[in-house]
Every structure is written in structure tokens, then in C-alpha cells.
Amino acid sequence: MDDEATHLSLGEVRRIIGRLRGPDLVRLSLLGRVWAAGLRYHDADDLLYEALDRILSGRRLWPSEVPLPAFLSQVMRSIASQWRQEDRREPLREDETEQIFGDEAHDPSATYEMDDLTSRMRSALASDPLALAIFEHILADSDRDEAQRALGIDATQYDTARRRMANRLFDDFHSGWAYAP
């Protein structure tokens, strides 16, 4: 009796992956999003493409009894784990900059200027609470879906408020980014 799992040939793998359609790729991308959460330098698409590359190149053998979504999920989980380990071993870029340039790397005046600018932008948006909330989500690096869920709005409401926010900021700050109330 053969204890080794049988694997799909590269031709079978290419044929199965070649049959994927747009909706299949969207579902796989969403699955990649789950595993990519918390990665610093890679996103869900990077993860999906790397998994497909490893499978199509034969570096990752596909057991014949495992369905595509489950197998790709395992591969993406493994890659994400590997990338997280690499991220933990890699020194922070800010630390590297400090080691190279010493105290010159951190300019406190730049931080104060940015804080001042965001404060002035908040003041400019104070009369439009939804636009201000979207601005805060942008500062927090929330994606569109997260902001919509948190604010309880649909895509049209989000787009409309985001346009109002952008127009207000452009009108008030476009010439030299100096806000004059």
C-alpha cells in the first residue's frame, strides 16, 4: 500500500487554474485577504499570486484529494506565515534610518507641521460630520469597506461625502496648503 498522497500533475494543475473565472478569482482574493491581514509589505493580491506561482511552478505539490479553495488557502496561510516571520526578523526601516543618520533622521518639526496641518483640515471639515469621519478613516488607513461599515453608509453615500471632503480641502488648502478661515 502506498502511503504517499498522490498529487496532480503540472498539466492538471494548469488546466484547473486555467478554468478559473473572474468570480472565482474574486473569492480567492477575499480568502487571501484573510491570510494577508497584518502583513506589513504584502497584500492579498501578492499572497494569491505567490501561491499560484508556487503551485504552477511545481514548488508546491497539490494533493489530488484536496479541492482548489482548500489547497490555495493552505498555501496562502503558509506563505503569509513565512512572510510574517521574515517581517519579525527584519529591522524596522525607521531603526535602520536612525542607525545610518543618527538623530538627524527624526525631525520633530516635521511631525508638528503634519499635526498642525491635519488639525487645520479637521477644522475645515467640522461643518460636515460625515466628510470629517471619512477623513478620520483615511488618516487611520481604513479601507473603503471598513469605513462604510463603521459609519453605517452605503457606497453612494461614501463617495458623495468623500467628494465633498476632497472639494472642501482642495478649496481651502490648494494654494500653499495654508488654510484661512
Q: Are 105 and 98 in contact (CB under 8 A)?
A: yes
The answer, yes or no, to whether residue 64 has pLDDT greater than 60, is: yes
pTM above 0.75, yes or no: no
At 87-143, the pLDDT tens digits run 777 665 555 545 544 444 555 555 667 778 888 889 999 999 999 999 898 888 888
H or E segment at 153?
Answer: none
The answer, yes or no, to whether residue 36 has pLDDT greater than 60, is: yes
What does pLDDT average to over the chain? 81
Give the C-alpha separation, 167 to 174, whole Å. 10
Concatenated DSSP letters of 26-81: HHHHHHHHHHHTT-SS--HHHHHHHHHHHHHHTSS--BTTS-HHHHHHHHHHHHHH
The answer, yes or no, to whether residue 169 has pLDDT greater than 80, is: yes
Q: Which of 16-30, 52-66, 149-163 has the lowest mean pLDDT?
A: 16-30
pLDDT-derived band at 175 (thresholds 50, 70, 90) equals low
At 74-103, the pLDDT tens digits run 999 999 999 888 877 766 555 554 554 444
Share of the chain above pLDDT 70, in %: 80
pLDDT-derived band at 2 (thresholds 50, 70, 90) equals very low
The answer, yes or no, to whether residue 33 has pLDDT greater than 80, is: yes
C-alpha cell at 59: 514548488
Average pLDDT of the residues in 27-52: 88
Residue reference for cell 496641518: 117
